[in-house]
Structure 1
């Protein structure tokens, strides 16, 4: 088609379902100036018509549903696995995926387990499928996919399995999400599930208060009362925050409350739980309460161990009741129990400050006989105390004895102690 004269008749045909319509462009008036742009416009229109003759007749074809991927209604760890979910749900996406696309190993594994879960599967089959996964992300995808299926709902067993898998796989954010779902009522409650959630929350600094929220829900429930494991987890979490005296008194109230509620619920404590309560009282120098719990241990059929005696001995010595602390130490040694190194050193320092140097020296030698070594401060407290009391020669002799019995005392420690004794003696 060519452009002849400005006043010539041009025809553009547009195909229609019934007939061809002819559009005529009227002749241009002779009065148009030479600079008019109408011929250029017509030329552009004709050029576009020649290139796309059906531009006026056909609308743009719609996108195929294969190219439109709906957003999932639940979060998936691997977005690619959701493609497998669409292909497995014929009602949502009847078109098969592109067969030329290479599937990843995780997609193949996800598809395999989806096919294994035949229609009508229950929580037991889902639990087995989750436990068989070595990848926690793939297990979570299966967990979420099964939750979307009709006539199925996760129970406490599947939630407990999934929470453990995520915690072991260090997927803490996803585990926190599941904990919130359970608290909101996603499944029926059970003691093992709630204890697992409390253990997880106690191990996370920002979820410390959430652990006690779960504990309160257990207290208010009818068939999910806290047991001994629950109280052990909470007490252990509280004791890890006993860093200084002021903080100890803040958390001691919670320890007292838990102890009372444990008795009210009829939970019989064991030695481990009672030791934690004794430790809390001793750290706050509430030694009378600690000794009261110590005397009650026989009522619960519990036998005190080295930690029990050690906590009370340290608390008594720090309280200033060194004689009683030494008595608990001797009772412990009489039963063949070996104190910890911290118990040894506190007893030694307390005796040295009370000028009971003979008793302190015996405790040092006992400590060395059990393959434990006092630190530099403990040695200095005892030996310098002897020098200040005018027993310098005895201090030098003890230093030589300690050097022979302490295989861990290095040359640097020995010279430091020797120089300190010379300085205190004014030599």
Structure 2
């Protein structure tokens, strides 16, 4: 029993683990399998040397969890397959019991888990928030515990990408998929789903410019490998690449990828234009940004509020106030309203250009427009305009 405990410690539930510790302290129980919790724990003679003292000593009532485990074990008839195990795991509502069933079947003579069983167990562990057990399953997959399988590896990559401390493990899985794709197991080579998950995980690590430039190298590498392996990118993956370049203000590269979208049978969407418009504003290329915005609106695409406000602020700071006001009203027509800072930027720049009367008129018009601003925003802006326009000594 002592030699079996370390093997199961990683993926056993707490009730099962406590039961194994109890079994290890009971004599004459070495013939019992540690993963069958509701079986008779030991020989009746070892529990009661006098059988006439308690005629019901052989009967042992199990806990509901143990009885449920027995039920599932009984359903797995001799000669069960990995598909049978996968179906039993998916049908199990308790993730701990599913983990016990997974490990119990793994020790049956002549049986070995295949990719469907590992995939079912990984999905149940993740959905049941058994993250430590899911990590152990990923380790088994990396170690080659089952034949290579694309859905299984993608599920493992998705889990690792969702956990910040497993970021490097996701790329370990990716490298494993690349190694196997060069051998006879070509069905396990990375797909567009794999590349998209890794690109999204890298982008989540973007922060201040120095950090972003470091991770931009990974984005470039994934882009090159994706195209070199013959994987055709979709609009989601292309938008992620555009977003990465835009965040690092590499707008020439972002526009290059934007122009390549049509080559892959895709059409730019709101996100494609939005990343370009916002990146150009941050870069200071406001004229180009306005051109892409007009092209976007001509196609009937509506940007997000963040893109709208970035464009309005950039136009105002460049003293292109008429264009900024036009974008503000376009934003309002699409049931979005600028924040206080964006309004203030436009109105204050109008005052600095000597158009104080026009600024007050614009504020009055915005105050009457439904959904443009609340009373508090209007009061704050009006007070700010009065303060800005009052004569100074």
TM-score range, shorter chain: 0.7 to 0.9
Residue of 315, 318, 323 corresponding to 1:351: 315
> Counterparts of 1:268-417 in structure 2 under 5 Å?
268-407=232-371, 409-417=373-381
**Structure 1 residues 277 and 70: alpha-carbon distance in aligned structure 2, compared to 1, 3 A threshold:** closer
1:139 maps to 98
Contact 1:81–1:106 (CA under 8 A) maintained in structure 2: no
Partner of 2:8, secondary structure, is coil
Residue of 179, 182, 188 corresponding to 2:138: 179
Aligned-partner Cα distance in 2 for 1:366–1:272:
27
| 1:248 and 2:212 are equivalent in the alignment | yes
Aligned-partner Cα distance in 2 for 1:299–1:69:
62
1:203 maps to 162
1:259 maps to 223
CA displacement 1:200-238 (0-9 Å, x = unmatched)? 001101101110111111111132210000001001111
Aligned-partner Cα distance in 1 for 2:380–2:224:
51
1:64 maps to none
| 1:226 and 2:174 are equivalent in the alignment | no
Give me the TM-score of the superposition, normalised by structure 2: 0.87
**Aligned CA-pair RMSD:** 2.3
Contact 2:35–2:104 (CA under 8 A) maintained in structure 1: no
Aligned-partner Cα distance in 1 for 2:144–2:116:
14
Contact 1:373–1:406 (CA under 8 A) maintained in structure 2: no
Residue of 52, 68, 74 corresponding to 1:115: 74
Count matched residues: 360
Aligned-partner Cα distance in 2 for 1:181–1:70:
20
Aligned-partner Cα distance in 1 for 2:59–2:365:
83
Aligned-partner Cα distance in 2 for 1:242–1:69:
48
**Structure 1 residues 213 and 92: alpha-carbon distance in aligned structure 2, compared to 1, 3 A threshold:** farther
1:215 maps to 174
Partner of 1:186, secondary structure, is coil
Residue of 147, 160, 175 corresponding to 1:188: 147
Aligned-partner Cα distance in 1 for 2:3–2:177:
40
Aligned-partner Cα distance in 2 for 1:399–1:141:
67
Contact 1:313–1:326 (CA under 8 A) maintained in structure 2: yes
Please list every run of 5 or more consecutive structure 2 residues that lacks an aligned counterpart in the other structure.
24-31, 48-56
Q: Which has the higher contact order (CA 8 A, sep 6+)?
A: 2
| 1:74 and 2:8 are equivalent in the alignment | yes
Contact 1:228–1:269 (CA under 8 A) maintained in structure 2: yes
Q: What's the CA shift for 1:108? A: 0.5
1:26 maps to none
Q: What's the CA shift for 1:181? A: 1.0
Give me the TM-score of the superposition, normalised by structure 1: 0.80
Aligned-partner Cα distance in 2 for 1:380–1:238:
35
Aligned-partner Cα distance in 2 for 1:272–1:177:
31
| 1:161 and 2:95 are equivalent in the alignment | no
Q: What's the CA shift for 1:250? A: 1.2
Q: What's the CA shift for 1:120? A: 1.9
Contact 1:86–1:93 (CA under 8 A) maintained in structure 2: no
Aligned-partner Cα distance in 1 for 2:36–2:122:
26
Q: What's the CA shift for 1:71? A: 5.7
Q: What's the CA shift for 1:95? A: 2.8
Aligned-partner Cα distance in 1 for 2:380–2:155:
51
Aligned-partner Cα distance in 2 for 1:395–1:357:
11
| 1:423 and 2:376 are equivalent in the alignment | no
